[in-house]
Amino acid sequence: MSQATTYDVLLTGQLNADREQVVAELAKLFKKTVEQVEQLLEKAPVVIKKQQEADKAHLYQKRLQAIGAVVELKENKVPLHEQWSLESTETEHKRTGRAEFASRDVEPESASSVVPSPVPSAGAPEASEDVYATPASSEVQRDYSSGLTMKMSLGAIYFSFKGRINRKTFWLLYVLPMLLAGVIIGVVTFFNIFAGVILAAIGAIPYIWISFAVAFKRLHDVNMSGWWYGGLSLASFAFGAISAFNPTFASFQFLFSIAGFAIFIINGFIAGTQGENRYGYPQE
């Protein structure tokens, strides 16, 4: 017997980016408050769209994953004779109303929101109401023509190890501020050595964290693991400490310097991969 395949769009509750940022973006997309989105994530996994055709289901998945939410598609196979019927049964009356037979299954392209199918989906709890608004037609077109991108807050850029950042962000929001900070510390030290040392010590820990976070995400942009930078930095530190007691190991520092310079070239000058890679979508 012929079957029609549809998909339920399942919000797993897992997030691939800064939680505060993702929740805020979901709230705007779902037209809900932040508190409502948090409650929805607590109930996850939850079905937010039911009985969608493949192209629409994958569009929802891409749009949500571009924000940073992990989404799965659950396949449903419904016999055609159950999906389409000319018999005006009491069940159909409850589903669509007597004057609106099967109207809830129709999704005009120009509509600003999609009404969910009333057929329940087994295997996962469903949202109490439709929480997902279809992107405007122009936005849908942009998704296909120019590729999906992901916004990233300033806090996520400096403190998160997830996601991707581009070369522009690397230079303007990391290299330039660090150079300015170095100049400021240098000027302070020139006039007061003690104050300069204290200022440098205070900034050391944030600097190390930010350097790792930025380098990880920049390497992610070219589809490389951030641990190329992390492992190199830790190894360099370890060999540096050992060489203080055993000068034989000092020669390795030159090799680490070359590797570090290579990573800087990648971070500063190599363009990220087009579209989605294993670390997510490119930065907007």
In this predicted structure, the answer to whether residue 234 has a pLDDT above a threshold of 50 is: yes
Distance set, CA 178 to CA 91, 202, 207 (Å): 66, 14, 8
pLDDT attached to residue 236: 86
Tell me the chain's radius of gyration from C-alpha atoms: 26
Domain limits of the chain? 3-146, 154-269
In this predicted structure, the answer to whether residue 83 has a pLDDT above a threshold of 50 is: no
Average pLDDT, the chain: 78
Of 77 and 58, the one with more pLDDT: 58
Report the alpha-carbon distance of residue 124 to residue 222 in Å, rounded.
36
In this predicted structure, the answer to whether residue 103 has a pLDDT above a threshold of 70 is: no
Average pLDDT over residues 190-207: 94
pLDDT attached to residue 145: 33
Strands (E), the chain: 3-15, 46-52, 69-79
pLDDT attached to residue 215: 96
Report the alpha-carbon distance of residue 240 to residue 271 in Å, rounded.
32
Of 81 and 278, the one with more pLDDT: 278
pLDDT attached to residue 35: 87
pLDDT attached to residue 238: 85
pLDDT attached to residue 242: 83
Report the alpha-carbon distance of residue 273 to residue 221 in Å, rounded.
6
Average pLDDT over residues 237-262: 83
Residue with the two structure tokens 């590797």:
259
Of 234 and 135, the one with more pLDDT: 234
In this predicted structure, the answer to whether residue 148 has a pLDDT above a threshold of 50 is: yes
Of 132 and 40, the one with more pLDDT: 40
Share of the chain above pLDDT 90, in %: 33
pLDDT attached to residue 16: 85
Residue 93 has which token pair? 């009356």
Confidence of residue 2 (pLDDT cuts 50, 70, 90): low
pLDDT attached to residue 139: 38
Confidence of residue 252 (pLDDT cuts 50, 70, 90): confident
In this predicted structure, the answer to whether residue 199 has a pLDDT above a threshold of 70 is: yes
Q: Within 13 A of 22's CA, how many CA atoms are on the CB side?
A: 21
Confidence of residue 107 (pLDDT cuts 50, 70, 90): very low
Of 76 and 112, the one with more pLDDT: 76
Residue 12 DSSP SS3? strand
* CATH number of this structure's domain 3-146: 3.30.1390.10
Report the alpha-carbon distance of residue 19 to residue 21 in Å, rounded.
5
pLDDT attached to residue 17: 84
Of 179 and 40, the one with more pLDDT: 179
